[in-house]
Structure 1
Amino acid sequence: MQPTALPILLAALTVLSSSLHAQSTPPASLKEALTFHASFDHGFDADFSKGSKACTVKQGKETVPAAENAEVKIVSDGAKYGKALHFTKKGGTRPQYSGQDGVLGYNDKSWSATVSVWLRLTPDQDLEPGYCDPVQIVGDDTKKGFIFLEWSRDERPRFFRYAIRPLVHLWNPDNKDWATMEKRPMVQVANAPFAREKWTHAVFTLERLNEKDGKPTGKLYLNGELQGAIEGWDLTLGWDPTKVLLVLGAAYVGHLDDLAVFNRPLSAAEVKELMNLKGGVGDLY
C-alpha cells in the first residue's frame, strides 16, 4: 500500500463507522418529543408516559383497570414487537388512556401532536358491519370535537380515513349525515395497504389546532408515505382538557401494537425513521 493511501483509507473507515452508528442510533429528536408509549408487552398499561400510565375501560358508569376478556386479549403470536393487542370481535371494550399531564398536551391556544400505531387486519373480511375506529381522541362531548382513524361503514372495499371534526357548527352547520356529506375534514384512502399477513404503520399528526390566526392542519401517513392532509378548515375544538382521552378499539377487529404519542407533528423523514426502528418505539428510551 502506498503511504499516502493510508490516511484516505482511515478517513473512509471513519465515515463508514459514523454512518453505521447513525443508522443504529435512534434520532434524539424523536426521543425528546415522545410523551407516551404502550408496547403491550407487559399488559395494557403504558411502558412510558409523561402522565398516567394506567389503561382503563368503562363498565357502565364505572371506570376500571383494563383486563383481558373475550373481546380483547394480549397475544405474542404474530405481534409486531413482543406482544400486541388482539381485538377478537366487535364489542364494547375500549381501552383508554388519560391525555392529561403532558400525554396529549391538549390546550385551547395551539395544540400539536403525533399519534403512531401498528395495525394488522384485512378490513373487508375481518371487520363487522358499521363504522370501525381503531384509534380515537375524544373529549367531554363529540359535538365539541372528535378525532379518529376509521374504516367506512358500507363501501366495499372500505375506505380508510383520518378525520379531525372540530366544533360541530364549523364542519356540519346543517346537521347532515357524516356518510353523505360531500366536504368533510378528513383524509380518505381507497385500497389502503392493510392485510392479515403484514403489519401496517399508521401515523397521524395534529398541527396548530385551536390557533385563531394560524393554519391548522392534520396529516396521515401509511407505511411512511403521506396519504393527504386536512387543510382549509377552522379546526377549533372546545374540550375540557381534563376529559381528553386516547381510546382504542371502537368496533375494531384485528391486531394493534406499539402505540405512541409525540408532542409535536413529526416530519415526513421522522415518520420513516419511526417506522424503521428495529425494536419499535421502545428503542427511544
Structure 2
Amino acid sequence: MTHDGKSYLRFVQLQSNDVQRRHCCFSVHCRRNRRMRIYFFCILMLINNIGHAQHQSSLVDALLFHASFDGSADADLAKGDARIYTAQSLKREDVQAGLHSSAVSLNRTQGRYGGSLSFTKKSDQIVFFKGDGNLPQTMQDFHGTYSFWLRLTPEEDLPPGYVDPLQITDKKWNDASFFVDFTKEVPRKFRLGVFSDYKFWNPQDLKWDDIPDRERPLVTVDKPPFSREKWTYVGITFREFNGENQESVASLYLNGISQGDVRRKQRFTWSKDRLAIMLGINYVGQFDDFAIFDRALTAAEMKQVFQLPKGIKSLR
C-alpha cells in the first residue's frame, strides 16, 4: 500500500474514533438529561402531593359536621349531637329522635356517593339536626361553609309554593337565617338567602313586598342546572359576619362555580337551644353528603370539594 493510502486509512480511523467518542459523550449527556428530567419530575410530583395533602389536612381540620347518609340518617361526624330529629311542624315543639316522617326515607343505594335522604312528598313534618356545636359560633368574625348535593327536576318534582332544601335558624326564615330555596314561580329560580337578626337588617320593619329586589339579601340564579338525571353540588361560604367594620360576604356555588355574593354587614344572634339545621322543607328530591366547615373555604377549595372522588369521606 502506498504512503498516501496508509495516511488515508489513519485519517478514516481517527474520524471513526472521533465519531465514537462524540456518540459516547452524546449518550452520556442524554442519559444525564433523562435522569435530570426524571429527578425534577419526581420533585414536582412530591411538591404537588405535599400541597394536596396539606389542602386535604386543612379541610379536615375545618370540618365540623358530616352526614354521608350511607347506612344511617345520623351524622358520621358531629361536634354536637349527631342524631337526626323529626318535628311535627316548623315550630319544632313535638320532637322525636330519628326519621319518623312518611315523606322522608333513607335511600341506601342511589345517593351521590352511596346512600342519600329521599324526600317523596310535601309534608308539615320537618327533619333536622340540632345546631348547637355543629355550627360555627356566632362570635365576632363569624364564618363558615355549608356543602351538599341535590338531585331533582324542579319544574316536574316540586310542589307549588316555596321550597327550602336547607334552612338554618333558631327563629324563622327572615331572622338570623341562612337558606337556599326554589321560588314558587315557574320556571323555578334558585336562591341563597342570608338574613341577619331581623331588627338589624330591617330596622323600619318594612313589608317584604316594599323592599326593592336590589336591597334584599339574596343571590338569585335564574336558570339553575338541577336535573333528576344528575346530581348538582351546592356550596355556601360566609365570612366576616358580626364584625364591627368589615363588609360581610356570603357566596353561593353551584358545581364548584360561584353564582354571586351577598355583600353587606351581617349580625347574627342565635339561641343554642333552638338552633336547627332543617333539611327538605316542602322539598321533593334527593339530598346527600351534607357537611359544615368552621371557616369560609376559598374558591379553589370549593372546586376541590366538588371534585372529591368519594365526597367528604375522601377527607377522612
TM-score by length of 1: 0.90
**Post-superposition offset of 1:242:** 3.5
Indicate the SS of the match to 2:235: strand
**Post-superposition offset of 1:63:** 1.6
Q: Output the CA distance in 2 between the equivalents of 1:120 and 1:178.
A: 31
Selected match of 1:225 from 244, 254, 257:
257
**Post-superposition offset of 1:10:** 2.7
Indicate the SS of the match to 1:241: coil
Q: Output the CA distance in 2 between the equivalents of 1:161 and 1:6.
A: 54
Q: Which has the higher contact order (CA 8 A, sep 6+)?
A: 1
**Post-superposition offset of 1:95:** 1.9
Q: RMSD over aligned Cα, in angstroms?
A: 2.3
Change (3 A) 1:72 1:207: same
Q: Deviation digits for residues 143-186 of structure 1, max 9, x if unmatched?
A: 642210001122x2111000111122343434323697422001
Q: Output the CA distance in 2 between the equivalents of 1:234 and 1:24.
A: 34
Q: Output the CA distance in 1 between the equivalents of 2:200 and 2:177.
A: 12
Q: Which amino acid aligns with 1:135?
A: L
13-22 or 167-176, which moves further after superposition?
13-22
Instruction: Tell me the matched-pair count.
Output: 282
Identity %: 33
Q: Output the CA distance in 1 between the equivalents of 2:157 and 2:253.
A: 22
Counterparts in 2 of 1:215-254, with a 5 A limit? Answer: 215-231=247-263, 233-254=264-285
Structure 2 partner of 1:263:
294
Q: Which amino acid aligns with 1:260?
A: A
Q: Output the CA distance in 2 between the equivalents of 1:128 and 1:48.
A: 32
Structure 2 partner of 1:47:
76
Q: State whether structure 2 residue 216 is matched by structure 1 residue 184.
A: yes
Q: State whether structure 2 residue 201 is matched by structure 1 residue 171.
A: yes
Q: State whether structure 2 residue 191 is matched by structure 1 residue 161.
A: yes
Counterparts in 2 of 1:1-285, with a 5 A limit? Answer: 2=28, 3-15=31-43, 17-18=45-46, 21=49, 27-59=56-88, 61-67=93-99, 69-101=101-133, 103-140=134-171, 142=173, 144-154=175-185, 156-172=186-202, 173-177=204-208, 181-182=212-213, 183-231=215-263, 233-285=264-316
Q: Which amino acid aligns with 1:5?
A: N
Q: Output the CA distance in 2 between the equivalents of 1:184 and 1:112.
A: 21
Structure ranking higher in helix proportion: 2
| Larger radius of gyration between Structure 1 and Structure 2 | 2
The list of structure 1 runs, each at least 4 consecutive aligned residues, that deviate by more than 6 angstroms after superposition, is: none
TM-score by length of 2: 0.82
